[in-house]
Amino acid sequence: MGDAEAAAVAARAAAVWARDAGRGPGHRGLFDGGLAGTLVGLRQCAVLHPALHPVADRLRDRLLDHPARPSAGGAEPPGRPRGAPERYGAVTFPDYDLILGPSGVLLALTADGHEARGTAGEAEYGPAACAAYLSSAARLAALCDGAELPGLRAHYPAHPVLGWLHGRINTGMGHGVAGVTAALTAAVRQVGPRPELASALRNTSRWLMKESFDDARDIRTWTGCGLDGQARPPGAHARQAWCYGTPGVSWALWDAADALGDPVGAAWAAAAFHTLADGYHEGFHLFGDHPGDRLGLCHGAAGVLAVADAMRRHGRLPAAAALRERLLRHFVAQEDELWSLAGERCGLLGGAGGALAAVLTATGGNRGWLSCAGLR
């Protein structure tokens, strides 16, 4: 397919998507049909269809004018006063995370302020919108104002799926401290290291470093939630992906340290990523019953590729460049499985859309969508 034909296909696909945009569940989040994700999509599509910029502007203003309520998109946890944020052990994912919560909204708004319009990092918001953005960032930072992050302890009593997390702190990029760290880092890059943002970012970074351990493959890594003083789990930690484990967490730590001008923290995070590159094994770390698990952005090869490419580009790490090349070769070898995935799922996190986006970006394509994954 030539460049002109590819551009025409992309323009048609963007138009089809835009016609249905905004018909999802209506929550504010970045994924699962949320408004923040729709904003990012509209702004990306507006590169091909400039008439979508005013639509995106209105949606951006709506996100800024209506701050997130606690437990947006879900019921208040039992025992919490309705409408009141709880800092000590009663948050659920929509209160803070990247997928459904304010971390994802901040990432979408931060990217929308400059990258899609090409304004060299200068936000286009007016004074009122800037104040709303700062208020959103400050609310997220307030959940991280203690060194042990009590504000991020989850409230999922007797939950059939998330009960394992009740009373604990998630470490991951999608639903945990790494994602909050990525959002706070983006805010610091946007508005500067304001004291409350910088303090919260140092708290999340130090907590993540403290909760790390070396697994049986000598990879510096993390479990799905903090250890809470317990011994490290035995054996090798198979889930090494964007969502959980070393790729996403080490990137979040490196980028935070870079934004704060902390060379010691950046070196620590780079060393953690280096252990992943040295110990990574496609046959062990890429697992699951579905191609989306093995190839997708969330659990699979695409997420590791996207992180390795970001580390190579911004951290100048030779180990990241080598891992990037390995994963690009892996996608060539898995072309048939990728086509199979495309016939079933095309979403960003678990479908062929995210896998193809990661491959195209790593080989010189558009980087504007990376904000959706807390990358750049």
Residue ranges at the known binding site for Zn(2+) = 243, 298-299
Place of tokens 């504000």: 151
Q: Is 357 helix (H, G, I), strand (E, B) or coil?
A: helix
Residues 248-263 as b or e (16 or more Cβ within 10 Å = b):
bbbbbbbbbbbbbebe
Q: For the packed helices 127-142 and 102-112, what is the interaxial angle rounded to 10 degrees?
A: 150
DSSP output for 124-166: ---HHHHHHHHHHHHHHHHTT-STT-GGG-B--TT-TTTGGGT
Q: Is 38 helix (H, G, I), strand (E, B) or coil?
A: helix
Residue 276 and residue 240 in contact, taking contact as beta carbons nearer than 8 Å: yes
Residue 186 and residue 106 in contact, taking contact as beta carbons nearer than 8 Å: yes
Q: How far, CA to CA in Å, does 241 sit from each of 100, 171, 342?
A: 19, 12, 20
CA separation for the pair 74, 59 (Å, rounded): 21
Write the CB contacts of 336 (distance below 8 Å, at least 6 apart in sequence): none
Q: How far, CA to CA in Å, does 31 sit from each of 26, 52, 178, 338?
A: 11, 20, 17, 22
- Residue 316's region, left for phi above 0, alpha for psi from -120 to 50, else beta, is left
Question: Residues annotated as binding site?
Answer: 243, 298-299
Which among 204, 309, 209 is positioned nearest to 264, based on CA atoms?
A: 209
Instruction: Kindly report the number of other CB atoms within 10 A of residue 45's CB atom.
Output: 25
